[in-house]
Each structure stands twice: as structure tokens, then as C-alpha cells.
Structure 1
Amino acid sequence: MISAHTDVVGSLLRPPELLRAREDRDAGRLDAAAFKRREDEAVDAAVRLQEEAGMAVATDGEMRRLSFQSQMTEAVDGFGTWDLDAFLWGDWQGDEATGDWSRERPARLGVEAPLRRRRFLSVEEFVYLRARVGPDTVPKVTLPSPSLFASFWDPERSTAAYPALAAFLADVTELLREEVAELARLGAEYVQLDAPHYPLLLDPGTRAFYEARGGGWRDWLARGIELDNAVMEAAPGITFGFHLCRGNQGSRWLVSGDYDPIAAPIFRETRAQRLLLEYDDERSGSFAPLAQVPEDKMVVLGLVTTKSPRLETPEALAERIHAAAGHFPLERLALSPQCGFSTSVVGNRVTVEDERRKLATIRETADRVWG
């Protein structure tokens, strides 16, 4: 099991050059080979940033993705018409200066044909990343939780392909099982499943959305965890992380609330060895639910915010880590940002220098707390 006391969640800010290159490619002004060079350059810079900050774990910054979950829809046929809004809908909250981010679920969204994989989702990401990190850095790949794609099944548009949501999610799960098996074959040691939709169950509106697709929200959560575990069981030799947050786009968020209502089924039932939990402000509640985490797991505390340039101090972070240790053993705690810095091409309101300083502070704090 990966036992590092520092971690990263996944995404980093896309460089302006990469964003322009994506626009040029989509408009037919840039060919595939030139675009791949721009992606490679962005990944190289992301790896340097993380390693220079002293992080034990590094991702490719999700530079090759439109959104943290878009690799599925980009690599698999059958999802029908979608764009960035397919991943951004919801009642986003936060700094009013960022504008109105309340978005309805796109009316056209809905899987339209049986899913068929055209390519692996993240194998390219891993193979390139593995060749770029140093020998002391663990390369990590992030994948979406299967049940996150429930929003792509529509009772009106999707029933010809999948009469029931369960059948659709079974195919999504199998695609992800094949993915992690291939990653394991290629030498991956650490894979993270992103499950921001589980904390969203703290919101009555989100609960109603899932319950409208059948069953109570607790049943829905239990079934989702079963699917997550099925993905992880496809590669038993890999360390799996499991990331929970409350929404993260453009420095906005979706819900608030303590982990307690969802802690027991997630913390106790998931087979992931590392739980990456958002804890950067009071919206996440207390550390008390950590007492429900089994002894065979590590908890990665997301104490450093990615939503603002505010720089936490090592002293304050160490104090919070020791507070968490009142509920879970210190040696099985670790430190990370609360989420990615840019979970889609819509980055948070921070700079690359903010990212650098925050990651360096995580390293400094870890050295202070764990030596």
C-alpha cells in the first residue's frame, strides 16, 4: 500500500497555450501531432511543478482532459451529444464575482446506444507520466466512480439502449474494470476513483435526483459503493484512493455538510486504502466521522484549499492535523489539497505560483509533522 504522507488530488491549471491549442484543434487549425506536443509540454511542466515542490505522488495534471470525468465520454461511443456543460450542471455557489453558475441539466443529455470502447481512457496518460516522474515519485492516475455517470442515463432518451439505469452502470463499471486491469498490467501502483457525487447526497435536491431513478438515497449509495469495489477488485495489487469533495469548478462549490450521514457506508465498505477527504473549511464539518474509518486505511486530509490564493501556514495545518489525530491515528494521516486546482478546463481562481506555494507548504508541513 502507498503510505506517503503527502498527496495530490489530480488536476492542475491548464496553461493558456494548451487552452488555445485545444481551441485551434477543435477549429481545424491545428493537427493532431502538433496538439499532442502541446499536451506533452503541459504534462512535463505539471510533473516538474509537483516534484520541485517535493510531493511524494504526482499526476499528469489531467492536462489531456476537458473535465476530470470526460475521458469516459471521449474514449467510449454511445453517450450521444455532450459538451462541457454535461459535467458542470448544478446550483453552484461561491464568490458572486465569478458570475451566475446555476445550470440546469442539459436537456439533450442521455446515453443513446450501447457503450463501446474505442480506446482506453487513461493508459496514454499513465504511460507518458511513468516515463517522466523520478524514481522517488509515485505516478497516480485518476478515474471517475462508475455511478457518477448516472446523470447520463435519461428515462426518455436512453431506454432503447438501456431499459434500466442498472444495466447502463454495469457497462460503465465493466469499462472501468478493464481500464484498471490494463493499468495494472502496465505497472500502475496507485489509482484514484473520484466520487464527488456521494457528498452531494447531503443536499435534498441531489437526493431527489437519484431517488427518481429508483430506490432511496441510502440504497443508491450502497449500490454505488458496490460498483466502485467491483472496479477496484479488477486490480487487487494496486493501491486505490477514493476522493470525496463537495463540488469544485471556477472556485465554486455545490453543497455543505458534515460527512457523518454518509461516513459509515463509505469509510467502512469501500475497499480503497486511501481516503482523500475535503476539509479545507467549515463546510466539511468536524473530524469526528474519522473515528469510523477502519484501521487498515489511510486518511488524506484535504486541508489546503484550491479555491482561493489563500496560503495556509505549516503551523496552522499542523494544528489541524493533530486535531484530526484525536479521532484517527497520526501515522495513518496524510495531507493534500482539498481537490484539484482545475477539475475541468474552467480552472479555479488561482495562479500557477499559487499552486507551487501551496504544494510546497504541504511538503513543509508533512516534514514538520511526520519527519
Structure 2
Amino acid sequence: MVGSAIVSDGDQRWSSFATYPITDTLADTGLAPNLAPGGQYFTIFADGHHRQLPRLTGGPFRYKTYAADGLRKSITFATRPMKQAVISPSMLALLYPLSEEVADYPREAFEAHPVGECEKDVRQAFEAGAARVSIDFTEGRPALREDPRNPWTGAGMLPHFIDLISRVLDRVPPEQCVNIGLRTCPGGDRGSVHSADVPYTSLLPSVFRLNAGYSLIQFASEREKDPVLQAIGEHSRDDANGVPQVCFIGVTNFQNPRVESPQEIRDLLVRAARFIPKERLGATDDCGFSPFSIDEKPLHGSLDYARDVAFQKIRNRVEGARMAAESLGV
């Protein structure tokens, strides 16, 4: 329908990209065992609305749903290879209270479980037929925000988040890490973002220390583009434990209903190739079409129109990438 070589189901079966393993709805119905409503805010968006996680009440922590559970249903309809997104262990680490200990379940013991569950999530996705798996790491940028309304963002957690994800990747052989990526963004929900004010250049050096085969980097909505491209070029690696890091930059902004033309997308990718080796450069879409199931898409006016716009943006991204490849000789 859109011409993309690899497709996904857009998390349409889940309450959200972040909570699919632990709850049936964003109203905290159908919670996994040892969880209760009323945990930390995952984030507070620029327009003031927030998304909240459950809180951990005891151990052990286990997923009730894996990404592969949805993939097995979606892949039966696919005519192209599929990519499956999974949530990071660092997001789920926020289930643990920031400044207190859960009885008989110290933080170190707990965090071994999200790491193990994320590894299982990744492995099951590949076993279910995923051609690629991406780990959603949207909490990376807020970890540098220091928002007093949301205390975890000022707790210096980015190095620890990177360590948790690295523990997952270290359990996967390099030949499989080629097809495991990391997605990073400033959020996108109800037409608002949560951390666009945090310089990307503060986050990207840490992201590229991970031995992931590729990165999906929200980029089209960035105001200052060249510093971001320069950071990607400087910090991405030709050899990450035997794996070259491919950098897929966002070329369509799903928060904006305006549809980018293929020519705009081509020009953006050609511009990016001045900073990033063209053999390690790719195109993706910015996040934010529908990461939460209750997003009303207020900037678009209706969900149906937003969906039509999304598909047109993807079509143009595919065509613009083809034009850029032709211009760059790759």
C-alpha cells in the first residue's frame, strides 16, 4: 500500500507502546501481577497533560503480554517483512518507586527482571517472524530534563538507563544485533511533545555507545538540524562490537498534518549525507502517529484524517528516500 520494504502494525493492538506488557488499558485495568495504579509519571507533556505508569507493589515482576503476541496476529496479513517494536527495560525500571524500597524486593533484584523480560520480548519477536526489532527508548531525552514536577527526570538516570539496555544487547549475538535498533524521540501525543527542549546532542553520545545495529532518530521536527546531524556523524560507529550502526533519521513529522513532499525528503537526506556516511544513512518517520490508544489527534481534527495523512507521509518518505539514493549513488 505504501511501498515500504519493511512494515509494522503501528502498535495498534496495544494500550500504548510503553504499557503493552503490563496493562490492558491506560485506565490501569487488567494490570500484571504485583502492580497497582498510581505510579510515577512517565512524562509530562508541554501542553500540561501527562501519562502515568502503574506502581510496583511486590515481586517478582513479569510481563503479562509480549510484543510477539500481537506480531503473530499481524504477520498473517503482511505482504512485506515486519519490524516489531518492544519497550525498553529502562522505561519499566520507572515502575519501581524513586526514593523508597519495595518490601522484600530490592531495586537490584527487580531490575534483573525487566532486563530478562525485554530479552525474552526481543527473542520471541524474532521467533515469531520479525525481520527487525526496535527498542523504544523515549525516556532517554526526558532523563536529562530535570523537571521538578516529575522527580525522576532530575535523578541523573540516563547512564543507568543505558546500562539496562546494554545488559539486554549483551545477551544477543552480534549477528542478531544487526537487526536490533533503538528508537529515540521527544515524544508525541495529542499534538504535544515532552522533551523537545532537551538538546539532542546531550543524548546521542550515550545512545551510540550501545551495540545496537541501527538507530531510529526523530529528526524532521528538530529546529536546529545540522548540530544533530553532526552529533550523529561523530558518535555513530562503523564497528559496534562487529556491527556497523545504521542511522535512520526521521524525515516526516507526524505531529504536523502538512505532508512533506518527496523532494523535501530527498533534500533532507542529501543534506544529512554531508555528516553521516551515506552507506549508514536511512530514512524513517518521526514518532507520534498514535503511541497511545486514546490520542484524539487534535491538530488533525479527526482520527480518520490523521490516518490518511500518515499513510501519505509514509508513501512520500519511501519515494523521497528512493530519490535520495539515486542522487547519492547508493
Q: TM-score range by the shorter chain?
A: 0.7 to 0.9
Deviations 1:74-114 (A, max 9, x none): 3883342238xx696533125xxxxx42x4857xx421121
* Aligned twin of 1:80: 35
> 1:243 aligned to 180, 183, 203, which one?
183
> Is 1:344 matched up with 2:292?
yes
> Is 1:184 matched up with 2:126?
yes
AA in 2 matched with 1:342: S
Deviations 1:321-347 (A, max 9, x none): 111111111232111211140001133
> 2:199 aligned to 250, 258, 265, which one?
258
Question: What is the CA RMSD across the aligned residues, in angstroms?
Answer: 2.9
Q: How far apart, CA to CA, are the structure 1 residues paired with 2:88 and 2:69?
A: 19
* Aligned twin of 1:319: 267
AA in 2 matched with 1:204: E
Counterpart contact for 2:61–2:110, Cα < 8 Å? no
> 2:58 aligned to 93, 113, 132, which one?
113
* Aligned twin of 2:308: 353
Deviations 1:213-254 (A, max 9, x none): xxx445324423423424655993661121000111111101
* Aligned twin of 1:163: 106
* Aligned twin of 2:28: none
- Which moved further from structure 2: 244-253 or 149-158? 149-158
Q: How far apart, CA to CA, are the structure 1 residues paired with 2:289 and 2:211?
A: 26
Listed as ranges, the matches of 1:217-232 within 5 Å are: 217=157, 219-230=159-170, 232=172
Q: Displacement, 1:303?
A: 2.0
Counterpart contact for 1:225–1:266, Cα < 8 Å? no
* Aligned twin of 2:44: 91
Q: How far apart, CA to CA, are the structure 2 residues paired with 1:161 and 1:69?
A: 26
Counterpart contact for 1:111–1:154, Cα < 8 Å? yes
Q: How far apart, CA to CA, are the structure 2 residues paired with 1:199 and 1:66?
A: 22
Q: How far apart, CA to CA, are the structure 1 residues paired with 2:51 and 2:312?
A: 36
> Is 1:142 matched up with 2:85?
yes
- Which moved further from structure 2: 184-193 or 302-311? 184-193
Q: How far apart, CA to CA, are the structure 2 residues paired with 1:201 and 1:261?
A: 11
TM-score using structure 1 length: 0.73
Q: How far apart, CA to CA, are the structure 1 residues paired with 2:135 and 2:203?
A: 17
Aligned length: 303
Q: How far apart, CA to CA, are the structure 2 residues paired with 1:298 and 1:203?
A: 27
SS of the residue aligned with 2:182? strand
> Is 1:128 matched up with 2:68?
no
Q: How far apart, CA to CA, are the structure 1 residues paired with 2:95 and 2:52?
A: 10
* Aligned twin of 2:303: none
* Aligned twin of 2:27: none
AA in 1 matched with 2:257: P
CA pair 361-203 structure 1, distance change in 2 beyond 3 A: same
CA pair 194-345 structure 1, distance change in 2 beyond 3 A: same
Structure 2 unpaired stretches of 5+: 25-30, 239-243, 301-305
Counterpart contact for 2:5–2:81, Cα < 8 Å? yes
Counterpart contact for 1:62–1:68, Cα < 8 Å? yes
Overall identity of the aligned pairs, in %: 18
CA pair 87-246 structure 1, distance change in 2 beyond 3 A: farther
The structure carrying a bigger helix percent of its residues is: 1
Q: Displacement, 1:176?
A: 1.6
Counterpart contact for 1:180–1:232, Cα < 8 Å? no
TM-score using structure 2 length: 0.81
AA in 1 matched with 2:92: F
AA in 2 matched with 1:141: Q
* Aligned twin of 2:18: 69
Structure 1 unpaired stretches of 5+: 1-51, 95-99
CA pair 125-342 structure 1, distance change in 2 beyond 3 A: same
By relative contact order (CA 8 Å, sep 6+), the higher-ranking structure is: 1
